[in-house]
Amino acid sequence: MTRNEALEMMQTRITNINLRKHILAVETVMKHLARELKADEEKWGLVGLLHDLDYEETKNTPDRHTLVTAELLKDKVTQEIIDGIKSHNDKKERVSLMEHAIYCADPVTGFLVACALIRPEKKLAPIDVEFAKNRMKEKRFAAGASREAMNSCTKLGLDLDKFLQISIDAMRSISGELGL
């Protein structure tokens, strides 16, 4: 499956604009992580782009989330990509670097959007690692963004500072698409 085919499939299945932006943010963070770790950017990007493909359909039945996607994609992508998608929400034990990457990339995007939105500019530009780390200490700030998942970046061989910087830089690279 090409990136354009995956993008078209995502845009067909996902109607919520903010969810689409989240998906694009996860895709770009995954690509930047792959670049940093000298992995396959296109493959990691596809995992990011497709990871919430069934979210609107399964949001009321979270136990089915990613399983519907796995069925939809079984003849279109490799098992490695399906495993990556399934591992972001504990439907599969994380083993590979790509699986660990999607687990920490998914929540960091929402967390960084929340960081941007509390600023008067409502932009990613002023967000830096120190600002983000200070907000991570606030339990109620972006409470849905798992600190445990973001801190699991150590499984990628990255400390939190490096992971946050990569994520911030990645999201800034598509800030226009994200509206931030």
Reported as a single tens digit per residue, the pLDDT across 61-78 is 999 999 999 999 999 999
Establish if 9 belongs to a structural domain: yes
Establish if 179 belongs to a structural domain: no
Establish if 101 belongs to a structural domain: yes
Query: Into how many domains does the chain fold?
Result: 1
Establish if 14 belongs to a structural domain: yes
The pLDDT value recorded for residue 170 is 98
The single residue listed with the structure tokens 């929402």 is: 110
Alpha helices in the chain (DSSP H): 3-13, 17-36, 41-50, 55-58, 67-73, 79-87, 97-117, 129-136, 147-151, 160-172, 175-178
Establish if 60 belongs to a structural domain: yes
Segments forming the whole domain that contains residue 21:
3-174
Establish if 167 belongs to a structural domain: yes
Reported as a single tens digit per residue, the pLDDT across 97-132 is 999 999 999 999 999 999 999 999 999 999 999 999
From the CB of residue 78, how many other CB atoms can be counted at a distance below 10 Å? 12
Domain with residue 8: its CATH number is: 1.10.3210
Please indicate, yes or no, whether the overall pTM of this predicted structure exceeds 0.85.
yes
Establish if 99 belongs to a structural domain: yes
The pLDDT value recorded for residue 132 is 98
| Under 8 Å between Cβ of 99 and 79 | no
* Tokens standing for residue 79: 């098992």
Establish if 180 belongs to a structural domain: no
